[in-house]
Structure 1
Amino acid sequence: MIELYHWPTPNGHKITIFLEEAGLAYNIHPVDIGKGDQFKPDFLAISPNNRMPAIIDTAPADGGKPVSVFESGAILLYLAEKTGLFIPKDLRGRVEVLQWLFWQMGGLGPMSGQAGHFAIYAPEKIPYGIERYTKEVNRLYGVMNKRLADRPYLAGDYSIADMASYPWVVPYERYSQDLNDFPHLKRWFEAIKARPAVAKVYAAVNPSYQKPMTDAEKKVLFGQTAKSVA
């Protein structure tokens, strides 16, 4: 059983997509990041970076005691290796998946997050910040579009690289992007959107989660220092 500590953000959706695609049994433990659940001691014990998602695998492959994993990319890799699914077994195929997984973790996710922050959540509009990150997201979409020109998915077959990237493209409009400008990316996006497991994950999201963020929630999410995890 996978115990999933989760909130319905792009990083959270990565993991539920994998679990649904793989047919793994899991329980969701909500981590309300607006209320500060990520700072509770029991959660910090498995996710010292005070970020969700995190998992506990109660039945690891080695038959030993439960294994906890934090960081969404590490979780995807752990689950892929546990199940043997959505990552190739050959050297070159595995490298293709891993480099695009790390590309998402180091680029698409953080840059999209900053674009959304400066455009939507920042207390004052800073034109340089908005332009800087909007352009970078646009560049990254261009990278994906070129990559997808001659293959159906980022690493050939559908893989954890696609599961990692798709949730960060879903909010493309809030990053001031138009998928019509990226035809190969749009085709990829629509193909993943149509997958039953992906549709199930997004259909389960309570609309109340999409409500505007309050000032108190912004303070919890954007006012963190080292004292937050002391």
Structure 2
Amino acid sequence: MIDLYYWPTPNGHKITLFLEEASLSYEIKPVNIGRGEQFEPDFLKIAPNNRMPAIVDHAPIGGGEPIPIFESGAILLYLADKTQLFLPSDFRQRWVALQWLFWQMGGLGPMAGQNHHFVQYAPERIPYAMDRYVNETSRLYGVLNKHLSDGRAYVAGQDYSIADMAIYPWIVPHVRQQQDLNDFAALKAWFERIAARPATIAAYKVGETVSTKPTVDDEAKKILFGQTAKTVR
């Protein structure tokens, strides 16, 4: 059994995508980040960066004490290693998948996240910041679209992988990111292919059972957007 500390955000959806695809037993432990539950002492023992998702694997390979893992990319790698699923065994294709996993973690996620912040939530509309992150999101969509334009079904080739699971949830809010998928034909086909997978549908239904309310409201803004080093002391 795996405990999944979760809220239905792009990073949270990454992990339910894997767990549903692999048919692993898991229990959702909701962490309402809009109400500050990520600062609870018990959660910080698992995820010291006060961010979800995080997992606790109660049946790790080799037995022994439960293993806690934080950071969504690390969780995907851990689950792929545990199950021997969704990470190519071929050396070259494995490294294609890993490069694109880190591309999402270091590029698409942070840039789209800043896009969301300045376009949707910032108390002041700052045209330079909005244009900066909308344009960078567009550039990243273009990079992925070009990569997918050689006929591959998925990011690492013809097989679905953790790279796809990491990227897909950050494309779901493309309208909020001011991106038109019709401008990216190969990306759009890839997106629709993943959206139709039964496990993708199941994963997003899990999210709906946890919350369908906006994560960011006026109360949440005070919690999510005012953090400093003092927050974690």
TM-score by length of 2: 0.96
SS in 2 for 1:175: coil
1:201 aligned partner, one-letter code: A
**Runs of 5+ in structure 1 lacking a partner?**
none
* In 2, Cα distance between equivalents of 1:213 and 1:57: 29
Summarize the alignment of residues 61-210 of structure 1 with structure 2, pairs less than 5 Å apart: 61-150=61-150, 151-156=152-157, 157-206=159-208, 209-210=212-213
Cα deviation code 1:87-130 (max 9, x no counterpart): 01232121111100000000011100000100000001000010
1:194 aligned partner, one-letter code: A
Q: In the alignment, is the contact (CA less than 8 A) between 2:104 and 2:167 conserved in 1?
A: yes
* In 2, Cα distance between equivalents of 1:178 and 1:65: 47
**Runs of 5+ in structure 2 lacking a partner?**
none
Cα deviation code 1:166-225 (max 9, x no counterpart): 000000000100000000000000000000000111233338534373222101001111
* In 2, Cα distance between equivalents of 1:212 and 1:143: 29
Q: In the alignment, is the contact (CA less than 8 A) between 2:109 and 2:170 conserved in 1?
A: yes
* In 2, Cα distance between equivalents of 1:11 and 1:137: 17
Aligned alpha-carbon RMSD (Å): 1.2
* In 2, Cα distance between equivalents of 1:211 and 1:115: 17
Shift of 1:65: 1.0
Point out 4+ residue stretches in structure 1 off by more than 4 angstroms: none
Larger RCO, structures 1/2 (Cα 8 Å, 6+ apart): 2
Summarize the alignment of residues 10-89 of structure 1 with structure 2, pairs less than 5 Å apart: 10-89=10-89
* In 2, Cα distance between equivalents of 1:86 and 1:136: 28
SS in 2 for 1:45: helix
Q: In the alignment, is the contact (CA less than 8 A) between 2:20 and 2:199 conserved in 1?
A: yes
1:224 aligned partner, one-letter code: Q
Matched, 1:215 2:212: no
* In 2, Cα distance between equivalents of 1:128 and 1:209: 32
2:180 aligned partner, one-letter code: D
2:127 aligned partner, one-letter code: P
Q: In the alignment, is the contact (CA less than 8 A) between 2:13 and 2:207 conserved in 1?
A: no
Equivalent pairs, count: 230
Q: In the alignment, is the contact (CA less than 8 A) between 2:34 and 2:215 conserved in 1?
A: no
TM-score by length of 1: 0.97
Cα deviation code 1:48-98 (max 9, x no counterpart): 000000000000012121100000000000000000000012321211111
